[in-house]
């Protein structure tokens, strides 16, 4: 779920900002439930203690109409002596998606959210790598500086953007195409395993779309095959 800009379309989740950051989470949730239950059926209150989420929370109602009522009636209302700023959240909560779209819709919703998160991480890593490359090119006066700059600009595998093809590293040397397919072929959307001649410890596994690959990457994080840990990342783009 993400915070709203003004003008988001109505949905069942209200975004609150302007909350006193010193209030402890359990006390905050209890206070929000007490205030907002007066204007509608509160399904869930979401508040987190990480730095980026401080001073804000989400309230999930049973319907968009109840959320609209909450915004209309409680806009500027003092919560713990601080006036609240209310708006519709940018995205629906998991509880709302499950209610409206069922289990399948919820899985698609989660996959989309994970893809967006990984793309943002990839962009941040790319910018960081580009800055590192610029510093290396400017500061390195040793032999082969161009190669050093290129290496510094490479995005780490774990921050690559989503791709429908997964890249497996550190595979057991005795694992062949069938062995890999037996593990990764049990997931929906599987297409094929591609081996690299002369490189027994790496392989590529392709799925029908990014969504399928994203789910498999998440499910196989930290997987062990043949007694050793296998790294599962996305294929590096051209």
CA distance 62 to 51: 29
What pLDDT is attached to residue 59? 94
Quickly tell me which residue has 């790496």 as its tokens. 202
Domain 13-92 identical in fold to domain 162-238: yes
Residue 23 to residues 47, 130, 132, 182: CA-CA distances in angstroms? 11, 40, 39, 51
Is the predicted pLDDT of residue 233 greater than 70, yes or no?
Answer: yes
Tell me, rounded to whole angstroms, the distance of Cα 65 from its chain centroid. 29
Q: pTM above 0.85?
A: no
In this predicted model, which residue has the larger pLDDT, 112 or 214? 214
- Location of structure tokens 């510094």: 152
Reply yes or no on whether the pLDDT at 46 is more than 70: yes
Is the pLDDT reported for residue 190 higher than 90? yes
d(CA 24, CA 163): 40
pLDDT digits 0-9 by tens, 58-100: 999 999 999 999 999 999 999 999 999 999 988 766 666 676 6
CATH 3.30.70.330 fits 13-92, yes or no: yes
pLDDT digit string, tens, across residues 93-147: 666 667 666 777 767 767 776 777 777 776 776 676 667 666 666 665 555 555 5
Say how far apart CA 120 and CA 142 lie, in whole Å.
Answer: 34
Domain ranges in the chain?
A: 13-92, 101-156, 162-238
Pick the CATH number of 162-238 from 3.50.50.60, 3.30.70.330, 3.40.50.300, 2.60.120.20: 3.30.70.330
Q: What is the pLDDT of residues 170-179, one digit of tens each?
A: 999 999 999 9
What average pLDDT does this structure show over 3-7?
Answer: 52
Helices within 140-197 (DSSP H only): 145-152, 177-184
């Amino acid at each position: 779920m993400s915070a709203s800009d003004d003008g988001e379309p109505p949905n069942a989740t209200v975004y609150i900002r302007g909350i006193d950051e010193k209030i402890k989470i359990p006390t905050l949730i209890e206070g929000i439930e007490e205030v907002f239950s007066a204007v509608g059926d509160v399904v869930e209150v979401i508040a987190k203690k990480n730095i980026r989420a401080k001073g804000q929370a989400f309230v999930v109602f049973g319907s968009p109409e109840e959320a609209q009522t909450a915004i209309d009636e409680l806009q500027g209302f003092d919560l713990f002596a601080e006036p609240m700023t209310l708006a519709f959240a940018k995205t629906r909560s998991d509880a709302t998606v499950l209610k409206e779209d069922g289990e399948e819709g919820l899985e698609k919703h989660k996959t989309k959210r994970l893809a967006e998160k990984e793309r943002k991480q990839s962009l941040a890593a790319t910018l960081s790598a580009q800055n590192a490359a610029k510093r290396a090119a400017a500061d390195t006066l040793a032999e082969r500086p161009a190669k050093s700059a290129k290496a510094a600009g490479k995005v780490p595998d774990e921050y690559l953007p989503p791709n429908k093809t997964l890249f497996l590293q550190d595979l057991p040397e005795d694992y062949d195409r069938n062995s890999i397919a037996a593990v990764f072929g049990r997931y929906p959307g599987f297409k094929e395993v591609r081996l690299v001649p002369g490189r027994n410890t790496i392989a590529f596994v392709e799925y029908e779309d990014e969504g399928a690959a994203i789910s498999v990457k998440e499910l196989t994080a930290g997987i062990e095959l043949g007694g050793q840990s296998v790294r599962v990342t996305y294929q590096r783009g051209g």
